[in-house]
């Protein structure tokens, strides 16, 4: 199944901002190619399923960091196509501008809790992205547990439902981080660039970074199963990951 990664939907520039017009093109191409957006529950059911991968042309659309432009620029487009979105929230940074390592200049504002609650009522979904957007691999055990478990506690208290999904900031994980994630969440998504498969670790599921698909023809070809460009990107990204590159 395709799991797409977005951050900001804006003209802010940089690899983690997709302009609204490009986002609109990407969503329209998905709809035109017959893709159906999945809820987290549908994704979990698929991942836990038996046998072959099942019906293709399914997509889970995720957004890291809970930028305010999700509400303004992404939600109307998602709703226009009958799609839903899953947003990973650094719970103690809501209502503030991004201020972590690698933040854009000028900083982009995050949603506030009122907006998160309203969108949860409209069918958008929310998962954890730590409390403070920390690199979880650099924390002592107590701080690590606080960032991972505390984030789910913050979110479920505010939106009134259990929180079952997580994305580690920067995709930075280690065996102890993955163990903690497994204890507190059903599934978690990372930054490995691949199509998700049932055999993938439920605590470190791969996604498709949409920064690579700003071109309409390249995206439509990918959706139709022509994956040459994608394999090149996979190779380059694997090299960069080994060199310690970090994104969103
Ligand atoms: Zn992030």
Cβ neighbors of 248 (< 8 A, separation 6 or more) are 5, 7, 15, 16, 64, 65, 102, 169, 170, 171, 191
pLDDT digit string (tens) for the chain, length 248 residues: 999 999 999 999 888 999 999 999 999 999 999 999 999 999 999 999 877 776 689 999 999 999 999 999 999 999 999 999 999 999 999 999 999 988 998 999 999 999 999 999 999 999 999 999 999 999 999 999 999 999 999 999 999 999 999 999 999 999 999 999 999 999 999 999 999 999 999 999 999 999 999 999 999 999 998 888 889 999 998 888 777 655 55
What is the DSSP-derived secondary structure letter of residue 136? Answer: G
Residue with structure tokens 């090299």? 239
Using the mean position of ligand 1's atoms as its centre, give its distance from the Cα of residue 65 in Å.
5
Per domain, the residue ranges of the chain are 2-242
The dotted CATH code for 2-242 is: 3.20.20.370
Using the mean position of ligand 1's atoms as its centre, give its distance from the Cα of residue 223 in Å.
26
Spatial separation of the C-alpha atoms in residues 228 and 215, rounded to whole Å: 15
Spatial separation of the C-alpha atoms in residues 193 and 201, rounded to whole Å: 14
Using the mean position of ligand 1's atoms as its centre, give its distance from the Cα of residue 50 in Å.
32
Using the mean position of ligand 1's atoms as its centre, give its distance from the Cα of residue 6 in Å.
10
Using the mean position of ligand 1's atoms as its centre, give its distance from the Cα of residue 54 in Å.
31
User: Does residue 147 contact residue 132 with C-beta atoms inside 8 Å?
Assistant: yes
Residue with structure tokens 């969440």? 185
- Which tokens in the block code for residue 180? 């903690």
Question: Read out DSSP for 80-91?
Answer: HTT---EEEE-G
Using the mean position of ligand 1's atoms as its centre, give its distance from the Cα of residue 189 in Å.
12
Using the mean position of ligand 1's atoms as its centre, give its distance from the Cα of residue 209 in Å.
13
């Amino acid at each position: 199944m395709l799991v797409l990664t977005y951050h900001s939907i804006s003209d802010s520039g940089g690899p983690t901002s997709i302009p609204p017009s490009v986002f609109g093109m990407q969503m329209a191409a998905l709809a035109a190619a017959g893709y159906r957006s999945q809820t987290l529950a549908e994704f979990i059911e698929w991942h836990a399923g038996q046998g072959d991968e099942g019906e293709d042309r399914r997509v889970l659309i995720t957004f890291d960091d809970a930028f305010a432009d999700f509400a303004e620029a992404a939600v109307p487009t998602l709703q226009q196509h009958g799609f839903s979105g899953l947003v990973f929230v650094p719970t103690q940074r809501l209502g503030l501008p991004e201020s972590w390592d690698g933040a854009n200049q000028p900083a982009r504002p995050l949603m506030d809790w009122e907006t998160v609650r309203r969108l949860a009522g409209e069918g958008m979904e929310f998962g954890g992205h730590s409390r403070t957007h920390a690199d979880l691999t650099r924390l002592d055990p107590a701080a690590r547990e606080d960032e991972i478990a505390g984030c789910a506690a913050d979110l479920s208290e505010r939106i009134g439902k259990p929180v079952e999904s997580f994305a580690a900031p920067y995709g930075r994980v280690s065996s102890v981080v993955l163990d903690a994630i497994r204890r507190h969440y059903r599934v978690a998504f990372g930054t490995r660039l691949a199509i998700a498969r049932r055999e993938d670790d439920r605590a470190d599921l791969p996604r498709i970074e949409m920064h690579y698909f700003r071109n309409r023809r390249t995206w439509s070809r990918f959706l139709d199963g022509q994956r040459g460009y994608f394999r090149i990107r996979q190779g380059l990204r694997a090299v960069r990951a080994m060199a310690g590159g970090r994104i969103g």
